Amino acid sequence: MSTLADSVEGIAHFIFDRVPDGLTTVAPKARATNIWQQNGIPIVSKVKAIDNLESSIKTSLDLLGGLAKMGGPEDTIMVKPNFNSPDPYPGSTDLEFLRIVLNMLKATGAKIVVGESSGGMWRPTRKTVAKVELPRMLAAMGVELVMFDEYPRDWVQMEVGGEYLKELTMPRSAYEATKLVYIPCLKTHNLARFSLSLKLAVGFLHPGERRRLHMGSLERKLVEINLAWQPDLIIMDGRKAFVTGGPDKGKLAEPGIIMASGDMVAIDVEGLKVLLSYGEKNRLEPNPWDSGQIVTALKYGLGSGEGEYRLVGQ
């Protein structure tokens, strides 16, 4: 529960956070290669979640080809969950879901790190993640937690050449990780229409640059953040979803699914199909391919177009 002091502190961060001077300039990371394919065609796995959550997540990943393909001891895998706020799942990532994924990734032998930065109204991130007891869980697992806003010099700047965002300031720790895994929730969003894998990248952007996202063309701007880098794997927890409102509250549905892919466009389109299937009054476009986020992502080649990927599952 947020207090008045929390709200005042959050408002101060939202208004006064600034990008420090003199940061290193780097090129965007090389485009991630989608290794999750069948016969050269990108795939999205979709499975019904059963009581045994670990088994359900494993099935979704096995349908892609298994986590052994993710790397080994030479890799650092940064996992990006959704703790923009301390709201209960699906407003935020479910801790048990995250714990299972982290243990599976640890089995690859790679170094596993969780990276996050909460939204302006909920910063500092340390306060938000403490409310959901994320630091306690990660400490018990021996997994490092990097809260980007706690490291004022741990940022790099890059020119990405977007139509709306020409330059971005992003965390050095995420830039230097050899692999990135995104764990989005499944939900509508009252400003961005929906919050799935493409929008998850907002949590990387320096807090001092996030205000400009809300000065028009939000859907297109948030996609352009993904020009800095793309995830190697996305695991979407769709056991519960907001089908109206969002991102922190709304009408709750229980699709009871888990999806995985290396293709942000494909998995977000499939997620949109699920949200639309409930027929609720929300801000979603009737055709997922007409969504501003999807149109923009395809413009920049950030995923597969209609008919260019395959859905696999139970």
Concatenated DSSP letters of 130-165: HHTTHHHHHHHHT-EEEEGGG-TT-EEEEE---SS-
Give the pLDDT score at 2: 62
How does pLDDT run across 145-194, given as a tens digit for each residue?
999 999 888 999 999 999 999 999 999 999 999 999 999 999 999 999 99
pLDDT digits (tens, 9 = 90+) for 15-48: 778 899 999 999 999 998 999 999 999 999 999 9
Write down the CATH number for the domain with range 4-313: 3.40.50.11440
Quote the pLDDT of residue 130.
97
Asked if 63 contacts 292 with a C-beta cutoff of 8 angstroms, the reply is no
Domains of the chain: which residue ranges?
4-313
Arithmetic mean of pLDDT, 208-221 = 94
- Mean of the pLDDT values across residues 47-58? 97
Sheet with 155-159: strands ordered across: 24-25, 155-159, 167-171
Return the pLDDT at 113: 98
CA 186 from centre of chain: 10
pLDDT in tens, 77-92: 999 999 999 999 999 9
Share the mean pLDDT of the chain.
95
Amino acid residing at 247: P
- Is there a contact between 110 and 76 (Cβ–Cβ < 8 Å)? yes
Residue 1 has pLDDT above 60, yes or no: no
Task: Give 210's pLDDT tier (boundaries 50, 70, 90).
Answer: very high
Proportion of the chain in helix, strand, coil states, percent, rounded to 5: 35, 20, 40
Query: For residue 243, what pLDDT is reported?
Result: 98
Please check whether residue 225 is in contact with residue 167, taking contact to mean a CB–CB distance below 8 angstroms: no
Tell me if 44 sits within 8 A of 263, measured CB to CB. yes
* Burial (0-12, 13-18, 19+ Cβ within 10 Å), 76: middle
